[in-house]
């Protein structure tokens, strides 16, 4: 796991997640200059997770 310190990456990630969660109707669009989002950036941590292995399980009932 690696912490990402860039506020620009955090902001872009929040905008992209909002677009994904609001699809397909897009009732809310998060703008890059949103004052509320900008004020919360100092309180949100973003990190990247690296997958070392992938374990698959299959159960047939």
Q: Which residue has the higher pLDDT, 60 or 19?
A: 19
Q: What is the pLDDT of residues 36-56, one digit of tens each?
A: 999 999 999 999 999 888 888
Residue 56 in any domain: the answer is no
Report yes or no on 18 lying in a domain: yes
Number of structural domains, the chain? 1
In this prediction the pTM is 0.75
Is 59 a member of any domain? no
- Owning domain of residue 8: 2-48
Q: b/e map of 2-40 (b: 16 or more CB within 10 Å)?
A: eeeeeeeebbeebbeebeeeeeeeeeeebeeeeeebeee
Within-domain flag for 53: no
């Amino acid at each position: 796991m690696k912490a990402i310190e860039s506020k620009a990456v955090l902001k872009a990630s929040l905008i992209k997640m909002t677009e994904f969660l609001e699809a397909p109707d897009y009732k809310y669009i998060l703008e890059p200059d949103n004052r509320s989002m900008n004020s919360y950036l100092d309180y949100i941590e973003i990190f990247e997770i690296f997958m070392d292995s992938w374990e698959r399980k299959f159960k047939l009932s």
